[in-house]
């Protein structure tokens, strides 16, 4: 009897306390046929009937998953499959591309939403990382096997919100055996890059093609230099580059502020058309290999826009600083001043954007 009991205990430990899940889905577009659920090392399938489908199974911990209409490849954005009753809405375009529109019933997703809301509300605080890290520690310690924890840490590290010492501490809490391999690889690459590009360290010199030749950062830098990684086909990148460009116009001569803007663009002509149209006067360069460029990989650039603010000696002063942050550093009084529209009787005053 004792032997059987011991065997059952070992078996339960090996299974990893798997818990049941159900996934109910609705397809917003017309579709009839099979749909496939990818999670862990499994691929399940079911028929879509009346635009609805249903899966059930077991997962030992929150696991990265995706849906597709092909048994050969997963071609959709991921979500996290976990114990409980989940529901999702999807769209299927051209009978092969699956788009996840929403997911309900996910405790992990709700937790992450709370963290992201907290981050957004406190984004302007200088000690945001100090406030955010305990929340992340609590989440990871409670369920270190959860692949959601690895996904979240990977994304936060991409934004460089966490300094190296905090990121390393959180990474050490993860159960590496259960995490998605791609997320672990991404985190380890970022940790390696972050260890070399911490605030206060020296930013390595770099060299890229300009319109007329090659130019090193060491030849372009001034008293204060923003090393900006951007792209002409990225709306957010174009907008933030324009904001930095306004600061360049205002403070280049008086404060020695300049920009070394590296565009991650494949097509040289497209890049040239863009910078000519924008009329930038600061140094603009192109990295046609984009994220495969060795220099960018060594710096941990895996998303755009990204930036480093350095002094005249190349020392890193800030990472992924906002235009407002640069403005505050250049001219604190002007950055703090926000015009208040005057009230005029009988007329509505437009709010300043």
Contacts of 50 (CB under 8 A, 6+ apart): none
Provide the token pair at 234: 């990225």
- Please list the ranges in the chain whose pLDDT falls under 50: 1-16, 338-353
Is 79 part of a structural domain of the chain? yes
Indicate whether 206 and 253 sit together in one domain.
yes
Listed residues 105, 137, 166: the one ending a domain: 105
d(CA 322, CA 311): 16
Is 345 part of a structural domain of the chain? no
Q: What DSSP element (H or E) covers 259?
A: strand 257-263
Torsion on CA atoms 119, 123, 126, 130, rounded to nearest 10:
0
Is 71 part of a structural domain of the chain? yes
Is 80 within 8 Å of 139 (Cβ atoms)?
A: no
Number of domains composing the chain = 3
Residues in the chain: 353
Is 305 part of a structural domain of the chain? yes
Indicate whether 186 and 214 sit together in one domain.
no
Which CATH number is 217's domain given? Answer: 3.40.30.10
Indicate whether 132 and 95 sit together in one domain.
no
Is 330 part of a structural domain of the chain? yes
d(CA 33, CA 24): 16
Indicate whether 80 and 116 sit together in one domain.
no
Is 119 part of a structural domain of the chain? yes
What does the pLDDT read at residue 312? 95
Is 1 part of a structural domain of the chain? no
Largest CA distance in the chain: 90
Indicate whether 234 and 165 sit together in one domain.
no
Identify the domain containing residue 306 by its residue range. Answer: 202-336
Indicate whether 247 and 173 sit together in one domain.
no
Listed residues 56, 90, 105: the one ending a domain: 105
Indicate whether 210 and 295 sit together in one domain.
yes
Is 352 part of a structural domain of the chain? no
Between strands 63-68 and 33-39, the pairing is: antiparallel
Indicate whether 330 and 214 sit together in one domain.
yes
Provide the token pair at 282: 């600061």
Indicate whether 51 and 74 sit together in one domain.
yes
What does the pLDDT read at residue 95? 72
Listed residues 198, 213, 238: the one ending a domain: 198
Indicate whether 206 and 332 sit together in one domain.
yes
Full DSSP string of 157-205: HHTT-S-HHHHHHHHHHS-TTTS-HHHHHHHHHHHHHHHHS-TTSBPPP
d(CA 192, CA 273): 36
d(CA 230, CA 286): 10
Indicate whether 224 and 332 sit together in one domain.
yes
Indicate whether 70 and 116 sit together in one domain.
no
């Amino acid at each position: 009897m004792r032997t059987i009991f011991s065997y059952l205990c070992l078996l339960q430990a090996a299974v990893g306390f798997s818990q049941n899940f159900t996934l109910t889905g609705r397809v917003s577009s017309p579709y009839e046929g099979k749909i496939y659920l990818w999670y862990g090392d499994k691929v399940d399938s079911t028929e879509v009937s009346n635009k609805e489908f249903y899966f059930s199974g077991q997962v030992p911990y929150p696991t990265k998953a995706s849906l597709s209409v092909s048994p050969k490849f997963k071609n959709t954005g991921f979500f996290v499959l976990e114990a409980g009753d989940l529901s999702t809405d999807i769209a299927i375009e051209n009978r092969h591309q699956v788009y996840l529109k929403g997911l309900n019933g996910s405790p992990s997703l709700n937790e992450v939403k709370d963290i992201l809301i907290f981050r957004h509300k406190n984004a302007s605080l200088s000690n945001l990382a100090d406030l955010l890290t305990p929340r992340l520690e609590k989440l990871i310690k409670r369920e270190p096997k959860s692949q959601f924890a690895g996904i979240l840490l990977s994304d936060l590290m991409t934004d460089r919100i966490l300094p190296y010492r905090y990121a390393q501490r959180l990474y050490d809490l993860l159960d590496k055996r259960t995490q998605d391999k791609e997320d672990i690889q991404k985190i380890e690459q970022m940790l390696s890059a972050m260890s070399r590009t911490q605030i206060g360290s020296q930013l390595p010199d770099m060299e890229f093609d300009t319109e007329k030749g090659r130019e090193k950062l060491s030849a372009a830098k001034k008293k204060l230099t923003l090393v900006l990684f951007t792209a002409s086909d990225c709306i957010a990148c174009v907008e933030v580059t324009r904001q930095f460009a306004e600061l360049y116009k205002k403070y280049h001569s008086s404060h020695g502020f300049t920009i070394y803007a590296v565009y991650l663009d494949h097509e040289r002509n497209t890049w040239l058309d863009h910078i000519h149209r924008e009329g930038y006067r600061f140094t603009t360069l192109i990295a046609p290999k984009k994220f495969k460029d060795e220099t960018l990989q060594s710096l941990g650039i895996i998303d755009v826009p990204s930036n480093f603010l350095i002094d005249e000696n190349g020392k890193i002063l800030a990472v992924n600083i906002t235009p407002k942050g640069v403005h505050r550093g250049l001219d604190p009084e002007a950055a703090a001043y926000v015009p208040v529209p005057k009230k005029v009787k009988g007329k509505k005053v437009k709010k300043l954007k």
